Chains A and B, each alone.
Chain A
């Protein structure tokens, strides 16, 4: 039995679950950041996570692609542990090459863009496809051009990141993540570092992505985006999921007092 099949059977993972989390815990030293997160993100859906800073939402996101290791619980992406293999009821830490291969399928977009500053936009986009996937230069460039057109930045291919505005940099970062053809895209507060007038262009690109059927987990403060684009709205506070549901429903009619208080402050 493959690790994937064993995991699916053992934890009862629904066939359409892209991200599957059960009692996910994470602590840094004595600080418990995540205290048991249960969440299923179906394929093709958009989950938006909101909550005050320090609520653990970014940490949860970073656990999904194994940038942070779990302290406890189960977190599967497409029915598989990212950093482990399940064989005969034991979790084996996978070797680096396999971890890299799995991470390559999980795109991530950061708050601070993190474009490679010594590379042009084009080089940023073709680096990982060439080095990790072994794609040829010509092929990588061709698909990079398609992606740049998609985020509306074709004419910036030979610019360096610092020559671009924040909004443009973030659109390049999204294109860079897409260049790996990920199964799921994680967004860690993608618009929080942007000037207000640049937020719209990034959200537009994300909206288009959601419409194209990409599975997305978005940590955000943009309640409007969550309401419009999200299939699921998750409100986290102090390391637990306080409330979740259909975004319009949660925003219009929050059940918990903490959700109400948070929404009243950000809306």
Chain B
């Protein structure tokens, strides 16, 4: 509450009760100007969307559920799920290596993160796609027994497989850091208390440390999943027929570039929205031990639109 100082000229009596003083809100001219500019922009953007014929909304609507677009979307989702699952497994292993007592394992894990996070994803992708330039065949042979198997690199390194390998290794580098930070965020006393009760290192990690780390791991991992979904559009470069590649191959033929980009943008936005809702509920699950009572709908909207206040607890 802000109190207004009594003006000297009016000579307010000193015994006037505080509740009867009039509170005059501060005038926020800056905000009003900001609102005016924002409304102006919204108007021009809206007008452009509505009146510019090049947007060609009708064509976009026609392509929205086009069978090849649907197939492309399916491929994009498949890639995201497979890559994310692999990256979580690899990332967890690397993170546990990084917090292990062995200096060798720690160094190995650090080097992994350093490399796969440092090299651009597109370069890694094209590198794995061209693995055959490095190794013509991949074979396993045991001395004295002979060759167990031998395959041409090009036979199994299909565009899809290279995409999965390249992007999961790359994504695992990011996830390893997130998971490590999550593990570090759990107070050391939790580890000691569990050791004191006779729990083994594995049990402590699985039952005590990781579940508590999840509260810190889930929000950034959700963001990673969302950016991974969009990152998969890179596979267009090695001709995997994902959502973006399919749209490109259509507009290369029909020159309906803008409507098809709208279709692609729509589907990415749609999936990201669905993922955000899922993320919201996951966060709620892992934060259940310290949930505050709030309107669930408001919380959902807040987390969708990205305004999350006071989410990190002590």
Residues of A90-130 at the interface with B, using a CB-CB cut-off of 8 Å, are 96-97, 100-108, 110, 112, 114-119, 127-128
Asked whether A67 lies within 8 Å of B196 as measured between CB atoms, the reply is: yes
- In the complex, whether B289 has a CB less than 8 A from a CB of chain A is yes
Asked whether B189 lies within 8 Å of A103 as measured between CB atoms, the reply is: no
Closest chain-A Cβ to B128's Cβ sits at a distance in Å of: 39
Which chain A positions have C-beta within 8 A of B200?
Answer: 96-97, 100
Could you say which of B195, B199, B201 contacts A131, with CB atoms under 8 Å apart?
A: B199
Number of interface residues of A (CB under 8 A): 32
Residues of A121-161 at the interface with B, using a CB-CB cut-off of 8 Å, are 127-128, 131-132, 160-161
Closest-by-CB residue of A relative to B208 is A116
Could you say which of B193, B201, B289 contacts A96, with CB atoms under 8 Å apart?
A: B201
Give B195-210 as 1s and 0s: 1 = Cβ < 8 Å from A's Cβ atoms: 1111111010001100
- In the complex, whether B80 has a CB less than 8 A from a CB of chain A is no
- In the complex, whether A162 has a CB less than 8 A from a CB of chain B is yes
Closest chain-B Cβ to A157's Cβ sits at a distance in Å of: 15
Could you say which of A97, A106, A110 contacts B192, with CB atoms under 8 Å apart?
A: A110
Give B285-308 as 1s and 0s: 1 = Cβ < 8 Å from A's Cβ atoms: 000011000000000000000000
In Å, the complex CA distance between A65 and B196 comes to 7
In Å, the complex CA distance between A56 and B283 comes to 42
Question: Contacts A110-B193, A118-B211, A127-B207; is A100 near B289 (CB within 8 Å)?
Answer: no
In Å, the complex CA distance between A161 and B189 comes to 14
- In the complex, whether A21 has a CB less than 8 A from a CB of chain B is no
Closest chain-A Cβ to B168's Cβ sits at a distance in Å of: 29
Which chain A positions have C-beta within 8 A of B190?
Answer: 114, 116-117
Give B166-198 as 1s and 0s: 1 = Cβ < 8 Å from A's Cβ atoms: 000000000000000000000101101111111
Q: A110-B189, A118-B211 are in contact. List 10 more A-B contacts (CB 8 A).
A: A67-B196, A102-B198, A103-B195, A103-B198, A104-B197, A104-B198, A108-B196, A114-B189, A117-B190, A119-B289
Give chain B's interface residues, CB within 8 Å of chain A: 187, 189-190, 192-201, 203, 207-208, 211-212, 215, 289-290
Give chain A's interface residues, CB within 8 Å of chain B: 65, 67, 96-97, 100-108, 110, 112, 114-119, 127-128, 131-132, 160-162, 173, 176-177, 180
List 17 A-B residue pairs with CB atoms under 8 Å apart, sorted by A's residue number: A97-B200, A100-B198, A106-B196, A108-B193, A110-B189, A114-B187, A116-B193, A117-B289, A127-B199, A128-B197, A128-B198, A131-B199, A131-B207, A132-B197, A132-B199, A132-B203, A161-B289
